[in-house]
C-alpha cells in the first residue's frame, strides 16, 4: 500500500515568537528581519499553513503589526495565521509604556554594539544636532549600564550563585488551559524559558545547533549554566527535536542537553531569501553605494564567523593586486559592525557595513558582488548564505568546515572549499573570480543543482509536516 499523509485541517500549532518582534523592521512597504531563526520560523509558518494547520504566533502588543506583516508574506491562506498578543493575557503590573521602554532598552543592550553609538555621536556632532546628541548620550549610558547588568547576571548564573526557575507568565497559563492547541513548536532553546511551565502539550523543539558544545565558557556563544538548564528541560519535554543538518543531528546527543538520539529529526532548510520582482527593476541607495569589486558576507558578528579572516582577506588581496601592478581593489561588504580594532587601518577604506537589508536589497547586493566570502568555522545548519549565493548564481568562496563537507559530499569539490582560516587560499579564489567569474559560476553549477534539489521548499514542507502528522497507510 502507498503511504499518504493527511493534512493538518483542524489542528492548531502555537509558535512562540515574541522575542523576535523588536528585530523586525518595515522598509519599502515590506517587513524584514535579519535574524536567521526568525526567517526560519517564517518558513515554518508557510509550510504548516500550506498543509492546512492553523498557526498561532505570540507577539508583544507593540509588535503585533510587524510580526504579522513579516510572517504572513509567505502564507497563501492568511486566515491560517493568527497572532496571540501575550500582553493582553499577562498580569498587569508595569504600564504598557513602561514595558515597551524596558523591552527596547533590553533589546538594545543585547544586540547593539557600542561602536554603533560612537559612529552616531560623530555624525551628530559633525552635523551640529546637539539636542539629538544629548538624547543619544542618555540612551548610550542606559544601554551601557544594561549591558553590564546582563553580563553580571550571566556570570552569576554561570557560577551557580543564582537559582533558575521557570518564569510563569499569563500566556503560558492560558495555553495550558486551551485544549484546542495541541502542539507547541519552540524555535529557540533558551529564548523562551517560560515554556518550561508547559503542560499537556506535544512539544517540538527547533534546535539548529548547540554551539556552546564547541565554545564552552563563551558567554558570547551562549555558554551558561542557565541556558544549558533551560535547553535540557525543553529537550526533555520535547517529543521531537528538529535540526537542519546531519552533522548537528550526530553531535547533539553528546552535548550537555542530553537529547535522546531517537528524538532528533533532520530537516534541511529551504532557500530563505524571498524573491521579488523588485530585484529586477529599479536602483536604490544601497545599490548605488556599492563599490565596483566587492566580496559579500551577510551575517552577525560572532566568534564562530571569523570576520577577522574576512577583513584580512580583503587587505591581503589588495596588497597582492598592488604588487601585480593592477588598479583594481577588492572591497568587503558586511551586514554587521565589528569591534574597535578588528579592522586594520589599511583595510578600513575597503570595508562597507550595510545593516538591515531587505530581501530585495539582499538579492541586489549578492548579484552585484564578485562572490560570497564565507569564513565561518561552525554553523548549526547548512549555511543559508551558501544556498542563497548558489540560487542567485553568485560564486562561493567558503571554508571547508565539517558541516558543509558532510552535507555536500563529493559535490563540495565544485566549490573548491578552502581550509578554515586559509587567507592565502581565499585570496587566490577571489582573484581567480575577479578574472574568470563566468567560468567559476559554470564550475559551481553542480553544487547549485544539488542545493536546489536537496534544499527545496517542497521537501522541507513535507518533512516538517511529517513531524506533526506522520504518513499513514
Average confidence (pLDDT) over 362-387: 90
Render pLDDT for 347-369 as a digit per residue (tens, 0 to 9).
Answer: 899 999 988 787 888 889 999 99
406, 411, 412, 414: CA torsion to nearest 10: 180
C-alpha dihedral sign at 113, 117, 118, 120: positive
Mean pLDDT of 242-271: 91
At 73, is the secondary structure helix, strand, or coil? Answer: helix
Question: What predicted TM-score, i.e. pTM, was given to this entire model?
Answer: 0.76
Q: Do domains 12-91+169-270+458-468 and 277-455 have the same CATH topology?
A: yes
Residue 241 has pLDDT above 60, yes or no: yes
Alpha-carbon span 198 to 91, nearest angstrom: 17
DSSP H helices in 205-333: 225-237, 246-251, 285-288, 307-323
CATH of 12-91+169-270+458-468, picked from 3.40.50.2000, 3.40.50.720, 3.10.100.10, 3.40.190.10, is 3.40.50.2000
**Residue 124 has what pLDDT?**
58
pLDDT, mean of residues 25-51? 90
Residue 169 has pLDDT above 70, yes or no: no
Instruction: Decide which of 3.90.110.10, 3.30.450.40, 3.60.15.10, 3.40.50.2000 is the CATH code for 277-455.
Output: 3.40.50.2000
Nearest to residue 234, comparing CAs of 172, 303, 181?
A: 172
Strand segments (E) across 5-60: 12-15, 25-27, 30-32, 54-59
* Cα separation, 51 vs 455, whole angstroms: 18
Judge contact between 391 and 275, C-beta under 8 A: no
d(CA 167, CA 161): 18
SS3 at position 372: strand
d(CA 325, CA 312): 20
pLDDT in tens, 413-426: 899 899 999 999 99
* Structural domain spans, the chain: 12-91+169-270+458-468, 96-158, 277-455
Q: Does the pLDDT value for residue 436 go beyond 70?
A: yes
Q: Which residue would you say has higher pLDDT here, 353 or 278?
A: 353
Are the C-beta atoms of residues 303 and 220 closer than 8 Å to each other?
yes
Which three-class secondary structure state does DSSP give residue 295?
A: strand
Amino acid at each position: 500500500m502507498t503511504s499518504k499523509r493527511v493534512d493538518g485541517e483542524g489542528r492548531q500549532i502555537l509558535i512562540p515568537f515574541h522575542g523576535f518582534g523588536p528585530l523586525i523592521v518595515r522598509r519599502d512597504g515590506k517587513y524584514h528581519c535579519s535574524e536567521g531563526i526568525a526567517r526560519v520560523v517564517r518558513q515554518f509558518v508557510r509550510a504548516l499553513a500550506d498543509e492546512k494547520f492553523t498557526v498561532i504566533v505570540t507577539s508583544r502588543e507593540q509588535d503585533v503589526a510587524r510580526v504579522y506583516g513579516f510572517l504572513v508574506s509567505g502564507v497563501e491562506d492568511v486566515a491560517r495565521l493568527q497572532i496571540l498578543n501575550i500582553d493582553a493575557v499577562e498580569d498587569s503590573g508595569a504600564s504598557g509604556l513602561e514595558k515597551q521602554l524596558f523591552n527596547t532598552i533590553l533589546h538594545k543592550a543585547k544586540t547593539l554594539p557600542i561602536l554603533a553609538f560612537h559612529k552616531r555621536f560623530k555624525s551628530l556632532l559633525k552635523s551640529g544636532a546637539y539636542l539629538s546628541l544629548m538624547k543619544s548620550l542618555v540612551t548610550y549610558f542606559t544601554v551601557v549600564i544594561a549591558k553590564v547588568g546582563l553580563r553580571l547576571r550571566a556570570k552569576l548564573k554561570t557560577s551557580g550563585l543564582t537559582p533558575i526557575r521557570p518564569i510563569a507568565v499569563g500566556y503560558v497559563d492560558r495555553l495550558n488551559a486551551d485544549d484546542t492547541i495541541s502542539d507547541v513548536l519552540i524555535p529557540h532553546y533558551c529564548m523562551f524559558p517560560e515554556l518550561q511551565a508547559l503542560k499537556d502539550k506535544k512539544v517540538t523543539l527547533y534546535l539548529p545547533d548547540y554551539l556552546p558544545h564547541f565554545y564552552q565558557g563563551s558567554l558570547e556563544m551562549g555558554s551558561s549554566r542557565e541556558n544549558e538548564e533551560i535547553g535540557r528541560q525543553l529537550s526533555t519535554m520535547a517529543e521531537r527535536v528538529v535540526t537542519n543538518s546531519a552533522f548537528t543531528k550526530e553531535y547533539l546527543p553528546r552535548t550537555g542537553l542530553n537529547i535522546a538520539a531517537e528524538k532528533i529529526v533532520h530537516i534541511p532548510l529551504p532557500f530563505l531569501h524571498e524573491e521579488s520582482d523588485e530585484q529586477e527593476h529599479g536602483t536604490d541607495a544601497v545599490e548605488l553605494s556599492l563599490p565596483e569589486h566587492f566580496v559579500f558576507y551577510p551575517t552577525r558578528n560572532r566568534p564562530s564567523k571569523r570576520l577577522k579572516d574576512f577583513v584580512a582577506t580583503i587587505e591581503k588581496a589588495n596588497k597582492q593586486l598592488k604588487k601585480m601592478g593592477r588598479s583594481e581593489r577588492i572591497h568587503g561588504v558586511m551586514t554587521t559592525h565589528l569591534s574597535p580594532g578588528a579592522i586594520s587601518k589599511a583595510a578600513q577604506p575597503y570595508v562597507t557595513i550595510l545593516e538591515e537589508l531587505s530581501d530585495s536589497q539582499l538579492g541586489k547586493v549578492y548579484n552585484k558582488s564578485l562572490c560570497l566570502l564565507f569564513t565561518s568555522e561552525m554553523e548549526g545548519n547548512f549555511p543559508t548564505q551558501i544556498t542563497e549565493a548558489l540560487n542567485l548564481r553568485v560564486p562561493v568562496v567558503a571554508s571547508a568546515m565539517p558541516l558543509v563537507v558532510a552535507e555536500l559530499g563529493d559535490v563540495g569539490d565544485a566549490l573548491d572549499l578552502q581550509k578554515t582560516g586559509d587567507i592565502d587560499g581565499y585570496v587566490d579564489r577571489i582573484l581567480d573570480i575577479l578574472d574568470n567569474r563566468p567560468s567559476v559560476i559554470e564550475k559551481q553549477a553542480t553544487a547549485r543543482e544539488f542545493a536546489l534539489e536537496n534544499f527545496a521548499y517542497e521537501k522541507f514542507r513535507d518533512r516538517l509536516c511529517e513531524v506533526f502528522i506522520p504518513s499513514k497507510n
